[in-house]
Amino acid sequence: MYVANVKGLRTKSHKLYADTSTHVTDIYAFCETNLWKDIASSEYFDSNYNVFRRDRYEGTQSTNTGGGVLTAVSSKFVCDAVPLVTSNNIECLCVKIILNRNSNVYIYNAYIPPSSSAVIYESHFDAIQRVHDMCTQSDIVLVVGDFNINRVEWERDYDDVNDDYSNVMLPNFAHLEDRLRHTSEFILNVNSLGLYQINNVWRDDHRDDNYILPHNILDLVFTNDIENVNVTRANTFLNDEKFHPPVMLSFEWNHQSDEGETSTVLSFKKANYELMNRLLLDSNISNRLKDYTLTLENKVDLLMSTLQDAINQCVPNFVKKTSPKCPWSTAKLRNLKNIQAKASKHKDKRWYNSAKAEFDKLNMQLYGEYMDRIASAALKDTKLFWQHVNIRRKTNASPKLLHYQGTSTANEQIQTELFANFFATNFNSTPNGATIMDGVDKSSCSNKFFELGDLFILEELLRIDTSKGVGPDGIHPLVLKNCASTLSDPLSII
């Protein structure tokens, strides 16, 4: 997890997009983003991230500059924004990540401007307390951001039991003036929730300013999982800011992920449609549908089950593994990515820093070459150019967490049922059987009937565009077109 005060993102889209598109980092937490609503998050992250933002004074004047917070989470995690009713327009957001059935991670990301009043700090603590109250004992809380507490020094806590320093950093209030006592109260209040500060990367700009304390930290990291979360200084790729050195949080939690899992995909282009037509004829589906005791719903279910059985026997399947793709990736870049992942687990962080620097250098070089090709294609190959634009602007990711009528679920089957319930509300039947749609009683319309005979249906099935994808019923257009002569009669009966 990369945490940093970025001092504005408006002019840094290329650098950030190049880094995030490699999908090395699972989570980004930025403050002072200086973004506003007309700037799309897709300028900085591709569809493999879920991006949550709170721009400064959201919903009011857009002329206010600075401030703002952003949290981006890899789409391999199920995550959702946690609603926080805050006062005084404080800049914060909270994201909930579902690790498994028993554990969640709550990430509270905040920015507090310099010289903020006690009321602002109290409002942030109230919001943090609300997040804490939502948690169970197995949940993990991370509170990160720029809290602008510049008159407090932080010292390592010595663990007498293990005869070593712990991850916890203890505050030293010796240099704190009375006018800033509310900042110490904020720290102690957060500690009272069982959240302790673990960022050990001090500011390194104190040599030129006697007022700046040598062991001061503006960007704080509080957590209730002090043994598992490790903080190291991160490589700077957005801005070389001595006041706000970026940090990398590394941790290992039991996350049930579908990343790397394989899925079975049907190959309709390689199907045996001759056998499929024979199976449909042998099933005697047309005569079975003529049973007058069957309702319309029963007939549809019967046809669909018969067709699905034929598909299972005649359409081969293959195993497909999906993974995030970087359009400028090379074998050398992927190798450096693997080296970096191994180095991150090594005790000597110099190896990781060296591997990260080498990876970033090559990644930026390849990204620059890729963007040059896109720019040159603007006139020569407009199709390639607009494909790139659409990728940057759109996402095809399905919702990881769906809310409807008090139900929240990440299960795709339940999500399908929720969508069906939602669309069903658009149609209401009157007691006498007439259907009202969009406020119009269809029974009052002129009765101009035409017969949907098997010949008409056959012609329509043969006109189907087979380049289209599979619909929500799972039936590919290739099946309908290649089995048109067999399906036209059953469909006409229904």
Q: Do 341 and 246 fall within a single domain?
A: no
- The pTM of this model reads 0.62
Same domain, 384 and 269: no
C-alpha pair distances (Å), 480 with each of 254, 273, 474: 45, 10, 11
Question: How many structural domains comprise the chain?
Answer: 3
Whether 456 is covered by a domain: the verdict is yes
Residues 162 and 295 in one domain: no
pLDDT tens track of the chain, all 494 residues? Answer: 999 999 888 888 888 888 888 878 899 999 999 998 888 888 899 888 999 999 886 544 444 566 899 999 998 888 888 888 766 678 999 999 988 778 899 999 999 999 899 999 999 999 999 999 999 888 999 999 999 998 999 998 876 666 677 789 999 999 889 999 999 999 999 999 999 999 998 877 655 555 677 888 999 999 998 888 888 888 777 666 678 899 989 877 655 554 445 567 888 989 999 999 999 999 999 999 999 899 998 999 999 999 999 999 999 987 766 555 677 778 788 778 778 777 776 667 677 778 888 888 888 888 888 777 777 776 677 776 676 666 665 554 455 566 677 776 666 667 777 777 777 765 554 545 444 444 445 455 555 555 678 888 999 999 998 888 777 777 899 999 999 999 999 999 88
User: In terms of domains, do 285 and 149 share one?
Assistant: no
- 255 inside domain: no
Buried/exposed code over 225-245 (b: 16+ C-beta within 10 A; e: otherwise): bbeebbbebbbebbbebebbb
pLDDT on residue 128? 95
Q: Residue 323 has what pLDDT?
A: 54
Report the pLDDT value the prediction gives residue 59, as an integer from 0 to 100: 47
Mean pLDDT in the chain? 81
Query: Is residue 400 in some structural domain?
Result: no
Residues 105, 233, single domain; the answer is: yes
Residue with tokens 């995690």: 77
Q: Are 468 and 477 in contact (CB under 8 A)?
A: yes
- Are 53 and 93 in contact by the 8 Å Cβ rule? The answer is yes
418 belongs to a structural domain: no
Same domain? 37 vs 176: yes
Q: What's the confidence (pLDDT) of residue 198?
A: 93
Confirm whether 412 is domain-assigned. Answer: no
- 409 located within any domain: no
Q: Is residue 398 part of a domain?
A: no
**pLDDT for the residue 396:** 45
Last residue of a domain, one of 188, 220, 250: 250
Quick one: 354 and 464 in the same domain?
no
Q: Which of 315, 326, 320, 356 is nearest to 339 (CA)?
A: 356
Residue-number span of the structural domain to which 477 is assigned: 263-320+426-493
Indicate if 288 and 376 belong to the same structural domain.
Answer: no
Domain boundary among 371, 393, 415: 393
Examine the domain organization and report whether 268 and 174 are in the same domain.
Answer: no
H, E, C per residue of the chain: CEEEECCCCCCCHHHHHHHHCCCCCCEEEEECCCCCCCCCHHHCCCCCEEEEEECCCCCCCCCCCCCCEEEEEECCCEEEEECCCCCCCCEEEEEEEECCCCCEEEEEEEECCCCCCHHHHHHHHHHHHHHHHHCCCCCEEEEEEECCCCCCEEEEEEECCCCEEEEEEEEECCCCCHHHHHHHHHHHHHHHCCCEECCCCCCCCHHHCCCCCCCECCEEEEECCCCCCEEEECCCCCCCCCCCCCEEEECCCCCCCCCCCCEEEECHHHCCHHHHHHHHHHCCHHHHHCCCCCCHHHHHHHHHHHHHHHHHHHCCEEEECCCCCCCCCCHHHHHHHHHHHHHCCCCCHHHHHHHHHHHHHHHHHHHHHHHHHHHHHHHHCHHHHHHHHHHHHCCCCCCCCEEECCEEECCHHHHHHHHHHHHHCCEEECCCCCEEECCEEHHHCCCCCCCCCHHHHHHHHHCCCCCCCCCCCCCCHHHHHHCHHHHHHHHHHC
369 with 452, same domain: the answer is no
Domain boundary among 250, 278, 302: 250
Tell me, yes or no, whether 326 lies in a domain.
no
**Are 49 and 118 in the same domain?**
yes
Residues 236 and 186 in one domain: yes
The C-alpha angle 480, 490, 418, rounded to 5 degrees, equals 65
